[in-house]
Structure 1
Amino acid sequence: MWSSDGWDVRTRLGVLIPHGDVGPESELQAMAPDGVCIHATRVPFGGMAAGGTMDPTIPLAPVHAFVEPPAIDDATALLAAAPISAIGIGFTSSSYVGGPDGERKVVDRLTERAGIPVVAPCAAAVAGFGALGIDRIALFNPPWFDAELDRLGAEYFRSQGLQVVAHASCDLPSNQRSINPSELFSWIVHHTPADANAVFIGGNGFRAVGVIAALEEDLRVPVVTANSALLWGLLQAARSAARPTRYGRLFGVR
């Protein structure tokens, strides 16, 4: 008799995203299985202007600032006041720049403020690769990640015991709304070396989850993106058994 009204979901998850970005929440909600709902809140990001416009490459100073108090701490506290089970940080860059130790300190600080689990995308990716038995990855980042940020990403994963057999920022238009899934698919297929046993696509604002299944079929290796890793980590943290069915092998492991 009644139409669905969105109230009867089993698991509600939060995500912290740059104020002008819609990518992370769009992809997380697209992947979310039945009974899971995504709730986002904005955090000021100095590298992004109104309408989500950015420079062709993002500067590192505002990346540092994104995870510094008080803005992200206050946003976390407000989001945690809602009836949600876990909160994700939808911003790969801060993990790259801070490294694993810096990322862990941010997660610990925000977890204490929230009183519920907080998940970072790169730590979730490392855990996911461990669950998949992966030790060699090809790392591909958005075109707006400069050579230094790409290098820091490779260093992050190497420091966690993974071999990074290739890494690069994708040679595609440096604009979030100009990313075409077919072009991204082709670029990654042509740049993934044969000795990679998984692919990681960084950047929570990088349109990528729609090509996961096609890439896995073509490359025959697991493909993980920043947002698929974040959702996997959030579902783990929330102790939810719900899993997407079309977004990669990662969701087949616990």
Structure 2
Amino acid sequence: MWSVDGWDVRTRLGVLIPHADVGPESELQAMAPEGVRVYATRVPFGAMAAGGAMDPTIPLAPVQAFVEPPAIDDATALLAAAPISAIGIGFTSSSYVGGPDGERKVVDRLTERAGMPVVAPCAAAVAGFGALGINRIALFNPPWFDTELDQLGADYFAAQGLNVVIHTTCELPSNQRSINPSELFAWILTHTPAAADAVFIGGNGFRAVGVIAALEEDLGRPVITANSALLWGLLQAAHSATRPTTYGRLFSAR
């Protein structure tokens, strides 16, 4: 009798994203299983202009500033006031820059401010690889990550005990809205070495979740993206048993 109105959900999740980015919440909501809804709050990001415009490569200073108080702390408090169960940080690169210790400090600080679990995508990816029994990974980052940020990503995962057999930025147009799933699929399929047991695609603003299933089928190995890792971690933190069925082997892992 009544039309769907969006209120009938079992689990509500929050995500903190750069102010001019629509990628993380788009992908998270696309993957979210029935009964799960995602709510986003914007955080100022100095490397992104109106309309999501960025330079071909993003500088490290605003990447680090994204997770520094007070802006993200205040945004976290506002988001936590909503009836949600957990909050995700939709931003990979600050974890790369801060390393595991820096990421942990940010998560602990925001968790205290929120009064609920806060999840970072890189830490969730590490936990996901552990749940899948994976040690050797191929790391692919967005074209707007420069060589230094890409190296910091490799250093991050190495510090967490993973063997990064290859790390590089994808040679695709350096513009979020110019990323084509078919081109991303072909590039990763071509550049994934046999020595890698799994693939990680960094960058929460990098359009990637649509190719997970196809890549896993052709590569015969798990594929995790920043946003699939974040959703997996958020569902765990929210104690939700529901999982997507078409976005990779990660969601079968416990």
How many corresponding residue pairs? Answer: 254
Identity %: 87
CA RMSD of aligned residues (A): 0.3
In 2, Cα distance between the equivalents of 1:160 and 1:65? Answer: 23
1:173 is aligned to 2:173: yes
Match of 1:120 in 2: 120
1:109 is aligned to 2:109: yes
Q: Which ranges of structure 2 fall in alignment gaps of 5 or more residues?
A: none
Match of 1:89 in 2: 89
1:184-237 deviations in whole A, cap 9, x for unaligned?
000000100001000000000000000000000000000000000000000000
1:27-46 superposed matches below 5 A: 27-46=27-46
Match of 2:63 in 1: 63
Deviation at 1:248, TM superposition (A): 0.1
Match of 1:132 in 2: 132
1:151 is aligned to 2:151: yes
Match of 2:249 in 1: 249
Match of 1:214 in 2: 214
Deviation at 1:253, TM superposition (A): 1.0
In 1, Cα distance between the equivalents of 2:117 and 2:20? Answer: 25
Match of 1:182 in 2: 182
Match of 1:231 in 2: 231
In 2, Cα distance between the equivalents of 1:64 and 1:224? Answer: 24
Deviation at 1:51, TM superposition (A): 0.4
What stretches of structure 1 move > 3 A for 4+ residues in a row? none
1:76 is aligned to 2:76: yes
In 2, Cα distance between the equivalents of 1:160 and 1:186? Answer: 29
Deviation at 1:28, TM superposition (A): 0.1
- Give the residue type in structure 2 aligned to 1:107: V
1:53-91 deviations in whole A, cap 9, x for unaligned?
000000000001000000000000000000000000000
Q: Which ranges of structure 1 fall in alignment gaps of 5 or more residues?
A: none
In 2, Cα distance between the equivalents of 1:107 and 1:61? Answer: 19
Query: TM-score scaled by structure 2?
Result: 1.00
